[in-house]
Amino acid sequence: MQKIKRIAAYQIDLPLHEGSYNWSGGKSVQVFDSTIVSIETDDGFIGYGECCPLGPFYLPAYAEGVRSGLKELGPYLLGLSATDHSQLNMVMDRCLKGHPHVKSPIDMASWDIKGQTANMSVGQLLGGTYGDDFVLYRAISQTEPEAMAENVKKHRKEGYRRFQLKVGGDPDVDIERIRLVSEQLSPGDKLIADANTGWTMHEALRVIKAVGDIDVYIEQPCDSYNECLSIRQRTIHPFILDECINGIGILIRGYTDKAMDVVNIKISKFGGITKAALARDLCTQLGIAMTIEDSWGGDITTSAIAHLAHSTQPDLLFTATDFNSYVTVRTADGAPQRNDGRMKASIDPGLGIKPLMDVLGEPVIDIH
């Protein structure tokens, strides 16, 4: 039955190649604090998951909160089937209200175990993969407009053709950012102006009007769903929702209101692969394009993203993320690597990764 007998957690710092990651409102992170979770079964299988919030000022999630939540939740999960995702999520939701980021690495690790026991990759368990690989985007950290344009130029040489431009600051500067970056693009490239909730409604309208001649997607311009819907109804640009989409209910409302053309599905925001896959499948039925990603992470998070993205219908997969190429620390062998702006999921059982235990060190939480 693969009963859970031990849950452990490891804390890992993930510095960035570029030194810092900056977005709206002056928010910035230099070193990401990630939690890697292992689940061990009574038959000796071990699965791994990861949760890495984008600092405490992005979503209602923070790194120490992941570990505090695991201490609270973990004892209730001992003895449960590690491969019965329905029961596992039901118990997690009963024993800890909310806090999906705490549950995400547990659910992710359970999928890793299920794949190992079935001798199938997570991508195969999720319905099978499409084609040889899938398309990635590159997030362009917020800085001066000229520097952002140079970064896009550099990453185009690495094969990226989709760029998520971090805006959400001074509208005049953001207009310049969008214009200068758009000049670096070629036909077929895609540009996303991601405000990360940073504009007020009047600022969002100013920017949208000023870039009306540019082929650009507008992503989460304002904080609330209603504010974003108001902007959506007054723009001709394709529209993406992210931060305000945190469950199936608001996803259905967004579809009903015609609030977005693309939606971002972050694994930890939904609470793990199980619920993120449910959202993915609903979007597939409704014809909503998707970006498959997470808040942040390293090799294990990137592996989970790859399996969910590679098993998503290609015409509805807008793009996905390769977080392990942003950070300087490797935490697992076998994780997918970008190749010319694209990536493919492992075909090995489970997530297809082998954690580097010398990097993980001793667990900071050990529940058994």
Longest dimension (CA), the chain: 61
Give pLDDT tens digits for 1-37. Answer: 799 999 999 999 999 999 999 999 899 999 999 999 9
Of the ranges 59-63, 152-156, 199-203, 328-332, which one carries the lowest mean pLDDT score? 59-63
Q: Token pair for residue 314? A: 């290609």
> Is the separation of the CB atoms in 237 and 55 below 8 Å?
no
Q: Exposure pattern of 221-235 as b/e (b: 16+ CB <10 Å)?
A: bbbebebbbbbbeeb
Q: What is the pTM of this model?
A: 0.97
CA–CA distance, 259 with 115 (Å, rounded to integer)? 36
pLDDT category at 194 given cuts 50, 70, 90 is: very high
Number of Cβ atoms within 10 Å of the Cβ of 246: 18
CA–CA distance, 275 with 294 (Å, rounded to integer)? 13
Q: What does DSSP assign to residue 136?
A: B
112-131 average pLDDT score: 98
pLDDT of residue 115: 98
Cα–Cα distance list, 138 to 53, 95, 325 (Å): 18, 37, 10
pLDDT of residue 57: 82
CA–CA distance, 90 with 323 (Å, rounded to integer)? 29
pLDDT of residue 248: 97
Q: What does DSSP assign to residue 324?
A: G
CA–CA distance, 351 with 302 (Å, rounded to integer)? 10
344-366 average pLDDT score: 98
CA–CA distance, 178 with 214 (Å, rounded to integer)? 8
For residue 56, give the 3-state DSSP assignment: coil
Nearest alpha carbon to residue 198 among 221, 172, 229: 221
124-130 average pLDDT score: 98
Q: Exposure pattern of 162-194 as b/e (b: 16+ CB <10 Å)?
A: bbbbbbbbebeebbbbbbbbbebbeeebbbbbb
Residues with active-site annotation: 166, 266
pLDDT of residue 55: 85
User: Rg (Cα) of the chain, in Å, rounded?
Assistant: 20
Instruction: Collect all residues with Cβ–Cβ distance below 8 Å to 226 and sequence separation of at least 6.
Output: none
68-76 average pLDDT score: 98
pLDDT of residue 322: 97
pLDDT of residue 1: 73
Angle at 169 between CA 163 and CA 175, to 5 degrees: 65
Element containing residue 252 per DSSP (H, E): helix 248-256
CA–CA distance, 148 with 240 (Å, rounded to integer)? 21
Element containing residue 21 per DSSP (H, E): strand 21-23
Q: Mean pLDDT across the chain, nearest whole number?
A: 97
Instruction: Collect all residues with Cβ–Cβ distance below 8 Å to 3 and sequence separation of at least 6.
Output: 41, 42, 79, 80, 81, 82
> Is the separation of the CB atoms in 70 and 7 below 8 Å?
yes
For residue 108, give the 3-state DSSP assignment: helix
Cα–Cα distance list, 68 to 61, 73, 144, 364 (Å): 11, 9, 38, 11
